[in-house]
Amino acid sequence: MTQIPIIDFALFTQGTAADKRQVVEQIYDACHKIGFMYLRNSGISKPLLDRLFTQSQQFFDLPVALKERVARSPQTNCGYVGFQKERLDAAKPWDLKEAFNVGIHAAWPAQPEAFEAIVSEFYQRCTTEVAPNILRAFAIALRLPETFFDNKHGQNYVLRMLHYPPIRQTPEPGQLRAGEHTDYGSITLLFQDEIGGLEVRTRQGEWIAVPHLSDVLLVNVGDAMQRWTNDILCSTPHRVVVPDRTAQRSRYSVALFCDPNPEVEIACLDSCQSADRPSRYPPILTQYYLESRFAETY
């Protein structure tokens, strides 16, 4: 597969039993072959998404000193991450981006005035409806009870607003807006603006562009889901490059990282192993896996 498929998720949440099965099969196929998919009718309205992007832009426009008053806490992973303070590819220079993380222990900035209310509304919508519905589709695809993932998620959802500032000088060799990496959790929901740069590495090793599409949600598989499924679903490497024609413009995106709860053990599912395909990963608690990945990133 060399293109990201587009799936109408309304057929899962509102369709017939046959519609639901069709969507589940499409999700399984996409996540097995490339690890990414676009979902239409995910449950997030465009007006709410527009308000969120406006608040994100207003926050990142603030002076650095104000943003650093709510600096990221290593204990909660919430707060502001400054420009070039993170590198997702530990072998390369620091990423050309800044970020603000929101979770259940969020540290809210005093400005913009409507920031907390609008971001909280978006966070609640994603974490109580959109992400759980998608995880239920994954459960069915893996021949598990539909609610299998429900009690394994909820404490570890992190909403990340990202700003990639204009490039004013030549980047260091190998420096990107976001270095090559895989995501750490079960799935990631991503909303991006029209400025390009996101690329995905196919299983054949080719880097392909993942453009912005209107009114769709981009979803990808993370490391926890790959470990649960014994590599049947793939946590695909991706990156944000510096596109020449838009390097003088800011790029914005918003990601919801759907990580399992800290105490959840990620161990190979029975439906994903056999005598011919034994488990490829030892069981590990989510907390310890995330700590190991964050230690490489900051």
Q: Is it the case that residue 1 has pLDDT exceeding 70? A: no
pLDDT band at 298 (very low <50, low <70, confident <90, very high): confident
Give the span between the Cα atoms of 140 and 136, in whole angstroms: 6
Fold of 6-297: Jelly Rolls (2.60.120)
State residue 246's pLDDT score: 58
Nearest to 233 by CA among 3, 11, 7, 34: 34
Q: Is it the case that residue 2 has pLDDT exceeding 90? A: no
Q: How many helices (H) and strands (E) does the chain have?
A: 8, 14
CB neighbourhood size of 138 (10 A): 24
Tens digit of each residue's pLDDT (9 = 90 or more) over 19-30: 999 999 999 999
**Separation in Å, CA 93 to CA 153, 172, 177, 178, 283:** 33, 7, 10, 10, 32
Tens digit of each residue's pLDDT (9 = 90 or more) over 105-140: 999 999 999 999 999 999 999 999 999 999 999 999
What are the two backbone dihedrals, phi and then psi, of residue 82, each rounded to the nearest 5 degrees?
-70, 170
Tens digit of each residue's pLDDT (9 = 90 or more) over 261-287: 999 999 999 999 999 999 999 999 999
- Tokens representing 254 are 């918003």
Nearest to 114 by CA among 153, 58, 76: 58
Tens digit of each residue's pLDDT (9 = 90 or more) over 175-209: 999 999 999 999 999 999 999 899 999 988 999 99
Q: Rounded to two decimals, what is the model's pTM?
A: 0.95
What are the two backbone dihedrals, phi and then psi, of residue 286, each rounded to the nearest 5 degrees?
-55, -45
According to DSSP, the β-strands at 36-40 and 216-221 are antiparallel
Q: What is the mean pLDDT of residues 144-154?
A: 96
Tens digit of each residue's pLDDT (9 = 90 or more) over 217-268: 999 999 999 999 999 999 999 999 987 765 678 999 999 999 999 999 999 9
- Tokens representing 256 are 């919801």
